[in-house]
Amino acid sequence: MINIQNLKKYFGEIKAVDGISFNVQQGEMFGLVGPDGAGKTTTIKILCGLLNPESGNATLFEKDLKKEREIIQKEIGYLSQKFSLYGDLTVDENIQFIAQIHNIKNFKQRRDELLEFTRLKPFRDRQAEKLSGGMKQKLALACSLIHKPKIIFLDEPTTGVDPVSRRDFWKILSKLLQDRITIFMSTPYLDEAERCNRIALMNKGKLIAVDSPAQIKNSMGKQVVEIVSSPIREAYKIIKEQSGFEVQIFGDRINVVVSNYETDYPKIEQLLNSKNIQINDNRLITPTLENVFIHLIKEAS
């Protein structure tokens, strides 16, 4: 459904998208994952025909984005980071307005289906500006689906949304996949990335891995030791500066990336003990996407 070859987009000296290539299959949920400034939004805007790339090629359902942009735009839906609908219009009126833009005349049945689907039916007469953050995202999603797109692009759809609405949103996306709609989403949340069929890890305009979440985690080829110690920040600093091991801190726990637990952990234990750092617990854990992402970034730098 989507094929990208060596796509580049620069803003002055900033390489927002720096020669990326990947493809997305029909009916797949594909996640573009990375921190702010990674190039996720720029990539989505290019694929939606809102920005022109410096170079490279992109096709959507085998249509060339440069040559058939208008045809492609009629077949895709786009949910932007910021709520961009009309606050003084009601839920019903916003959907009607978007339907008319897409020249859909008999939209009322489809609108009712989407309101039922997103659980917005009780709020159909409420002005959009008076909706909660989660409801606004559901309305934006309903509007992006009114014309039955083949691909829907979601740019960080759950950022700033409360946990309950975030869970509801994911239930809605799961139902869309059952209808074979291709979902292309960006997210800074690695727990959300776990839900995708495949993901692309992106940093500073470049892709550092493209595969299923499970395969990316398996590709690390390292072990991760989780250590609970006191004081935690002092332990982190000592391991980082004096051990040679890669170390990551998560709240009250330290993750140390090692080649072999049996031979490497005793070295860490000896180092911390020599600095009067108390180890309360340690265990070998399965690497998380966060472990792998940080590891890959450090290896690439």
Retrieve residue 33's tokens. 């994952």
> Domain tally for the chain?
2
Cis peptide, bond prior to residue 163, ω within 30 of zero: no
Final residue belonging to a domain, choices 212, 232, 260: 212
**Total count of residues recorded for the chain:** 301
Instruction: Quickly tell me which residue has 């339907």 as its tokens.
Output: 99
Q: What is the pLDDT of residue 83?
A: 76
Residue-range definition of the domain harbouring residue 260: 220-300
The pLDDT profile of the chain, 301 residues, written as one tens digit per residue, is 999 999 999 999 999 999 999 999 999 999 999 999 999 999 999 999 999 999 999 999 999 999 999 999 999 999 888 777 888 999 999 999 989 888 888 889 889 988 988 889 999 999 999 998 888 888 988 888 888 899 999 998 887 777 887 888 888 888 888 888 999 999 988 888 999 999 999 999 999 999 999 999 988 889 999 999 989 999 999 999 999 899 999 989 999 999 999 999 999 999 999 999 999 999 999 999 988 998 888 887 7
On whether both 226 and 292 belong to a single domain, the answer is yes
Give the CATH number for residue 56: 3.40.50.300
Residues 112 and 235 in one domain: no
Same domain, 173 and 264: no
| Tokens found for residue 221 | 């080829």
Q: What pLDDT, on the 0 to 100 scale, is given for residue 19?
A: 96
Choose among 39, 40, 61, 59: nearest CA to 49. Answer: 59
Q: Is the same domain home to 195 and 135?
A: yes
**Domain co-membership, 25 together with 141:** yes
233 and 176, same domain (yes or no): no
Q: Check whether residue 158 and residue 58 sit in a common domain.
A: yes
* Domain end call among 212, 247, 269: 212
Domain co-membership, 247 together with 208: no
H or E segment and range at residue 172: helix 163-178
Please name every residue paired with 15 in a beta bridge, in sequence order, or none if there are none: 10
Nearest Cα to 128, choosing from 117, 113, 114, 138? 138
Q: Same domain, yes or no, for 294 and 172?
A: no
pLDDT at residue 133, as a whole number: 84
CA dihedral 259, 264, 265, 271 (to 10 degrees): -130
From start to end of the chain, where are the E strands? 2-11, 14-24, 29-33, 55-60, 63-64, 76-79, 151-155, 182-187, 198-203, 206-211, 223-230, 246-250, 253-258, 278-285
From CA 31, how far away is CA 40, in angstroms rounded? 10
Residues 154 and 281 in one domain: no
Give the C-alpha separation, 255 to 106, whole Å.
56
- Do residues 246 and 168 both lie within one domain? no
